[in-house]
Amino acid sequence: MSPSAKRRAATDQVSDLIASRLSVYLRCLSLLDQAGVCTVSSSALAHQFHLNAAQIRKDLAYFGEFGVRGVGYSVLELQRHLRTILGLDRRLNVAIIGAGNLGLALADYPGFRQEGFNIVALFDTLPEKVGKRTRGGVPIHHVKELRRVVSRNHITIGVVAVPANAAQLVANNIVSTGIKAILNFSPGTLRVPPGVKLKNADLTVSLESLSFFLARGDAGEEK
């Protein structure tokens, strides 16, 4: 079967788990690249980063034949492939709604910029915040400007960083601008129409799971 035949149609539903792992692989490769490594085998990757070799191969093979049998994967080449697959070959503009502690911190978080994400705008409704900028220089707009700013700046990802009671309203607002990807930090379950990808990153849920494992006394590694 030819490599191109392997690339799946855009309609195939790929699980969230695979998407997250690809992102992890990319970060592992960056580390190897920095360390001057040119070629790596799936088992070397697996061993170094506590992953499963077969799973790495399967995940990668899903998108094409990137390896060379008997040799392994070219670190540089695989990095490039993963960046393309993850859509990181172009810069992505991100808006954060909610200029509270969390929103402000996310806006200036250096990790995002580093990986190719531009946080181009914050939004809030409080008059004392609107018009200001974060320490890192991200401008804070009024939420009513959302649609205008989104289309002018080609924003493709919206981040919800408002309290729970406002979250669904904000999400609807984001969806109405045509944005197709939402990262939600607020607690509770948001509803978005089909065609819009929602990812939850509720920090309290994470802490409460830890609490749960502490209470039971059984631990173990996370996947």
Give the interface with DNA as residue ranges (CB under 7 A): 1, 6, 15-18, 41-43, 52-55, 57-58, 60-61, 65-73, 223
Q: What are 113's strand-pairing partners?
A: none
72 binds, among its own copies, DNA, none (CB under 5 to 8 A by kind): DNA
- Between 16 and 68, name the residue whose CB sits nearer to its own copies: 16
Least Å distance, CB 44 to DNA, is 7
- Between 146 and 161, name the residue whose CB sits nearer to its own copies: 161
Between the two ends of the chain, the Cα-to-Cα distance in Å is: 32
Least Å distance, CB 2 to DNA, is 9
Least Å distance, CB 67 to DNA, is 3
- Alpha carbon 215 to its chain's center: 31
Please tell me the distance from the alpha carbon of residue 213 to that of residue 36, in angstroms, as a whole number.
Answer: 39
Tokens representing 216 are 């039971």
Least Å distance, CB 13 to DNA, is 8
140 binds, among its own copies, DNA, none (CB under 5 to 8 A by kind): none
Least Å distance, CB 27 to its own copies, is 5
66 binds, among DNA, its own copies, none (CB under 5 to 8 A by kind): DNA
Taking CA atoms, 108 is separated from 88, 154, 167, in Å, by: 20, 19, 21
DSSP per residue over 55-121, as a string?
A: HHHHHHHTT----BTTTBEEHHHHHHHHHHHTT-SS-EEEEEE--SHHHHHHHH-HHHHHTTEEEEE
- Between 65 and 108, name the residue whose CB sits nearer to DNA: 65
Over its C-alpha atoms, the chain yields an Rg (Å, rounded) of 20
211 binds, among DNA, its own copies, none (CB under 5 to 8 A by kind): its own copies
- Between 106 and 121, name the residue whose CB sits nearer to its own copies: 106
